[in-house]
């Protein structure tokens, strides 16, 4: 292996820069050349790539976003697009690639390697949703849940001052891990996630109980993909039945994707980036790096699908504590 490139793809997440830095510095340390590819697979097709040295990744570990930009690229799904990508990689002398992204990014890499086996890919899980098989943590999750927690703490202050009921929507189209962590850490009265059936009657009973027991605020955290609807729709359903509450809705939105990565985020992203580079050098490919029980593990791309299992103990605990 002579030159290792790194790119970020799919939804961006805080900590991607720490991972990029680790890939570049590990490759250089091992005597290889390093490169960055911009805007996900679009940069492969457009030849938007550049050589990186030690200083290319200076002073980025604390920054959110990704210095390489990210994108979704329809053309890479076509054989013609992947041929253009291959030609550009060959021209640039790239023979190993660290892909930082989600399951779609790894599927693209897997297909590409079947067509062009001389280029090797290893993945690092980059998504705020923490919903990939093969790792306890994805890059971005820890920062996203801390951002959501801080925002909800602030909303709790104003909710208590006015005896209000807030429905707060957090990110998670298919997964409720952000909602669960943000909700538990802020003492939410209820947490609604796509993985479990949302019982509106039960929710109303619980909120009614809170009212009767003189709770001076209530917070319901809703994952955006909850099957009963988003926070607005669920708030409307509840409002129709609980007119004594003043009900407000807050959608946290994209603030959950940005911001300075937390300490653990930077540490884990650095570990994964370094491990991915070493894995390529050792001849591994077609695998995603993960951290399971604090150990680095390798999971074949084909198995890095999204998982939807929510720890049932957590779900029970939410009911018990609220």
CB of 176 to ligand ATP, least distance (A): 15
Q: Which residue is nearest to ligand ATP (CB)?
A: 104
**Pick from 70, 140, 72, 141: which is nearest to 104 by CA?**
72
Instruction: Sort residue 90 into left (φ over 0), alpha (ψ -120 to 50) or beta.
Output: alpha
Residue closer to ligand ATP (CB basis): 216 or 303 = 303
Minimum CB–partner distance for residue 320 and ligand ATP (Å): 32
Which residue's entry shows tokens 């390489």? 68
Tell me which H or E stretch contains 120.
strand 120-125
Q: By CB under 6 A, tell whether 140 contacts ligand ATP.
A: no
Q: How far is the CB of 108 from ligand ATP (least distance, A)?
A: 3
Instruction: Encode 152-167: b = buried (16+ Cβ within 10 Å), e = exposed.
Output: beebbeebeeeebbbb
Single out the segment in contact with ligand ATP by CB under 6 A; choices: 106-114, 202-210, 222-230, 287-295.
Answer: 106-114
- Choice among 129, 131, 142, 226 that is catalytic: 129
Q: Is the dihedral of CA 256, 257, 261, 264 positive or negative?
A: positive
Is 43 a residue that touches ligand ATP (CB under 6 A)? no
Query: Is the CB of 112 or the CB of 166 nearer to ligand ATP?
Result: 112
Q: Given candidates 111, 242, 264, 305, which one binds ligand ATP under the rule CB under 6 A? A: 111
Asked if 41 interacts with ligand ATP (CB under 6 A), we say yes
- Token pair in block for residue 33: 């050349």
11 touches ligand ATP (CB under 6 A)? yes
Nearer to ligand ATP, 26 or 105 (CB): 105
Among the candidate windows 6-14, 58-66, 86-94, 278-286, which touches ligand ATP by CB under 6 A?
6-14
Q: Is 83 left (phi over 0), alpha (psi -120 to 50) or beta?
A: alpha
Q: Is 226 a catalytic residue?
A: no
Count Cβ atoms below 10 Å from residue 225 Cβ, excluding itself: 18
Q: Are 9 and 262 a contacting pair, CB within 8 Å? A: no
Nearer to ligand ATP, 15 or 210 (CB): 15
- Pairing relationship of beta strands 287-292 and 120-125 according to DSSP bridges: parallel
Contact call for residue 113 and ligand ATP (CB under 6 A)? no
Q: Are 31 and 1 in contact (CB under 8 A)?
A: no
Segment 66 to 105, residues that bind ligand ATP, using CB under 6 A: 72-73, 76-77, 101-105
Dist CA 128 CA 139 (whole Å): 7
| Cβ contact 49:93 at 8 Å | no
Q: Which CB, 144 or 193, lies closer to ligand ATP?
A: 144
Identify the burial level of 295 via C-beta atoms within 10 angstroms of its C-beta, where 0-12 means exposed, 13-18 middle and 19 or more buried: exposed
Does 107 engage in binding with ligand ATP (CB under 6 A)?
yes
Task: For residue 8, give the 3-state DSSP assignment.
Answer: strand
Q: How far is the CB of 152 from ligand ATP (least distance, A)?
A: 23
Q: To the nearest whole angstrom, how small is the minimum distance from the Cβ of residue 218 to ligand ATP?
A: 32
Total residues at interface with ligand ATP (CB under 6 A): 18
Report the residue number, 139 or 207, with the smaller CB distance to ligand ATP: 139
The yes or no reply on residue 10 touching ligand ATP (CB under 6 A) is yes
Q: Within a 10 A sphere around the Cβ of 65, how many other Cβ atoms?
A: 17
Applying CB under 6 A, among 17, 66, 88, 127 the residue interacting with ligand ATP is 127
Q: Which is nearer to ligand ATP, 101 or 273 (CB)?
A: 101
Active site positions, annotated = 129
Q: Contact residues for ligand ATP (CB under 6 A)?
A: 9-11, 40-41, 72-73, 76-77, 101-105, 107-108, 111, 127
């Amino acid at each position: 292996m002579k030159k290792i490139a790194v790119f970020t793809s799919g939804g961006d997440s805080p900590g991607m820069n720490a991972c990029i830095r680790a890939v570049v510095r590990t490759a250089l340390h091992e005597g290889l050349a390093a490169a960055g590819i911009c805007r996900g697979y679009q940069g492969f097709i457009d030849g938007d790539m550049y050589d990186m040295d030690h200083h290319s990744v200076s002073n980025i570990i604390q920054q959110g976003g990704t210095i390489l930009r990210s994108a979704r690229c329809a053309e890479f799904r076509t054989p013609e697009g992947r041929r253009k990508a291959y030609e550009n990689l060959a021209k640039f002398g790239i023979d190993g690639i660290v892909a930082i992204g989600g399951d779609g990014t790894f599927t693209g890499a897997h297909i590409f390697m079947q067509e062009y086996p001389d280029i090797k890919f290893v993945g690092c899980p980059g998504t705020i949703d923490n919903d990939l098989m093969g790792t306890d943590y994805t890059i971005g999750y820890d920062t996203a849940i801390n951002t959501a927690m801080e925002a909800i703490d602030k909303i709790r202050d104003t909710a208590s001052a006015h005896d209000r009921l807030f429905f707060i929507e957090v990110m998670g189209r298919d997964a409720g891990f952000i909602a669960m962590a943000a909700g538990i850490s802020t003492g939410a009265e209820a947490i609604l996630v796509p993985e479990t059936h949302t019982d509106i009657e039960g929710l109303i009973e619980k909120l009614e109980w809170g009212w009767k027991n003189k709770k001076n605020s209530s917070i319901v955290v809703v994952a955006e993909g909850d099957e009963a609807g988003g926070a607005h729709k669920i708030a409307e359903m509840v409002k129709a039945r609980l007119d004594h509450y003043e009900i407000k809705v807050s959608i946290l939105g994209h603030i959950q994707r940005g911001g300075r990565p937390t300490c653990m985020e930077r540490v884990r992203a650095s570990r994964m980036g370094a491990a991915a580079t070493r894995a390529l050098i050792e001849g591994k490919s077609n695998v995603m790096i993960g951290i399971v029980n604090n150990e680095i593990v390798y999971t074949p791309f084909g198995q890095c699908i999204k998982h939807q299992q929510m720890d049932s103990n957590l779900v029970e605990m939410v009911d018990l504590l609220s």
